[in-house]
Amino acid sequence: MTDVISMLFWPLSGLVLISIVITVHELGHYWVGRMFGAAVESFSIGFGRSILERTDRRGTRWRLNWMPLGGFVKFVGEMQAPTDTRDDIVTEPESAPRKGKAKPAHPVGRPYTDLNPWKRLAVSLGGPAANFIFAIGVFAAMSMTLGVSQAKEVSVLAVTADSPASRAGFQPGDIVVEAAGRTVSRSYDVTQATQLSAGEAVTYRVQRGNQLVTLTATPKEETVRNEDLQVSEKVGRVGLELAQRDISIRQYNPIEAVGYGITTTGDAVGATVNVLRRLVTGKDGLDKLSGPVGIFNLADKVTDLHLKRENVSFVQKIIDLLISGIQLAALLSIGVGFFNLLPIPVLDGGAAIMCVAEGVTGREIPENVQRIGLTIGLACLASFALLVTGQDLIKLFGWSAGS
């Protein structure tokens, strides 16, 4: 029975995960646009023809489309990608008279092009901002309800012989207080700083007796297998075995929780920036990235991990799965928010640059220039998507260069 349910969850978990994050992103654009009085033609989850649709009292079409990978909000008069259709749609002013609860014949508000460049900049940044706010809210709520694990101290239990750690001077009994400039409150802090820095020197500070010692080690790249999720990844290792003393779970108050949410989201953004930097400098390959196939695969593995546990009630399995799913959605939301800030036409970052250029120069970017930029951006995005999908398939099926 569990296997059957797990199979049913396989497409559902990935679709729900992506749909939540995209909906949050597009709602960010939608609400900022609404705040400035822009007329919204449609709000769509997925692409293609709609399978469910309703029009609200502002003339906006809310659509659920048959291809549930992504989504978009379409403002009246907004420049679109070359592959989209562009209809000449009339808008209706807020003050237009209507009888009773009659729906307007056209979207209520003003065309997107009537907004000044700084307001359009805010609309462009509204999507990524919503993604980050969502993640902060999730982490904050988790810290208040489930609590955060903390250790009295994180110490070195053993040092692998002839490893980067042994050459750096680590000794059993050292208490790690700082890793890569961050205070250590659990072993994960040390592991995270190490895994993300293969081939690059990492500074650690340890308490050794009454002395505070600074040590520098360069993690060596190794392939590590996560047997629970059945995935392999390349990470940095220095050869330390860590131990935690007096682990406790602390539930934060609302103010502490918001701070924790901001810090955790900031750490995730920092890790993403670090991965991007290593990609650009050639220290990491595209196998560090994941696209829709990788997301579906991860969601499937997490689902299996929870549903196939033994001696756990079905209700508890579902609760734990929902908690893990929400955490995954928060992390994916950060990735989507950051990715959309990249200065590439088609993405929000590219639109933001055009708005800033128009605001500074006082001149509107010619439509043909915008279309050329969108075409180039779309081509780059499609090429990138193909590369990442290829890497996802290689990891999924365990292909190698020699196979």
Q: Do 8 and 58 sit in the same domain of this protein?
A: no
How does residue 43 score in pLDDT terms, banded at 50, 70 and 90?
very high
Q: Do 162 and 281 sit in the same domain of this protein?
A: no
pLDDT number for residue 353: 92
pLDDT number for residue 91: 59
Q: Do 279 and 344 sit in the same domain of this protein?
A: yes
Is the pLDDT score of 290 beyond 80?
Answer: no
Q: Which of 250, 283, 314 is the C-terminal boundary of a domain?
A: 250
Q: Which CATH number does the domain housing residue 172 bear?
A: 2.30.42.10
The domain tally of the chain equals: 3
Q: Three-state SS string across 92-128, please?
A: ECCCCCCCCCCCCCCCECECHHHCCHHHHHHHHHHHH
Q: Do 349 and 322 sit in the same domain of this protein?
A: yes
Q: Do 100 and 164 sit in the same domain of this protein?
A: no
Whether 196 and 271 have beta carbons less than 8 Å apart is answered as: yes
Is the pLDDT score of 82 beyond 60?
Answer: no
Identify the DSSP state of 402: T
Is the pLDDT score of 83 beyond 50?
Answer: no
What integer is the mean pLDDT of 313-331? 89
pTM to 2 decimal places: 0.84
What integer is the mean pLDDT of 340-361? 91
Q: Which residue has the higher pLDDT, 66 or 130?
A: 130
Q: Do 100 and 14 sit in the same domain of this protein?
A: no
Catalytic member of 26, 78, 92, 178: 26
- How open is the CA angle 52-54-56, to the nearest 5 degrees? 155
Q: Do 127 and 269 sit in the same domain of this protein?
A: yes
What integer is the mean pLDDT of 227-254? 85
Nearest-angstrom CA–CA distance, 88 and 274: 44
Structural domain of 294: 1-33+115-146+253-403
Radius of gyration of the chain (CA): 25
Query: pLDDT, tens digit, for every residue of 248-270?
Result: 899 999 999 999 999 999 999 99
Listing DSSP states for 166-210 in one string gives: HHHT--TTPEEEEETTEE-SSHHHHHHHHHTTTTS-EEEEEEETT
Residue 231: its H or E element: strand 231-237
Q: Do 293 and 371 sit in the same domain of this protein?
A: yes
Query: pLDDT, tens digit, for every residue of 389-403?
Result: 777 777 666 654 443
Is the pLDDT score of 28 beyond 90?
Answer: yes
- Residue 39, φ and ψ in degrees, nearest 5: -80, 130
What integer is the mean pLDDT of 147-165? 92
For 358, the 3-state DSSP assignment is: helix
One-letter amino acid of 213? V
Is the pLDDT score of 239 beyond 60?
Answer: yes
Is the pLDDT score of 291 beyond 90?
Answer: no
Q: Do 281 and 359 sit in the same domain of this protein?
A: yes
Q: Which of 223, 250, 277 is the C-terminal boundary of a domain?
A: 250
Is 233 considered catalytic here? no
Q: Do 314 and 399 sit in the same domain of this protein?
A: yes
Listing DSSP states for 9-56 in one string gives: HHHHHHHHHHHHHHHHHHHHHHHHHHHTTB-EEEEEEEEEEEEEEEE-
pLDDT number for residue 162: 92
Mean pLDDT of the chain: 84
Nearest-angstrom CA–CA distance, 335 and 351: 18
Q: Do 54 and 15 sit in the same domain of this protein?
A: no
What integer is the mean pLDDT of 150-171? 93
Q: Do 190 and 154 sit in the same domain of this protein?
A: yes
Q: Which of 193, 227, 250 is the C-terminal boundary of a domain?
A: 250
What integer is the mean pLDDT of 322-332? 92
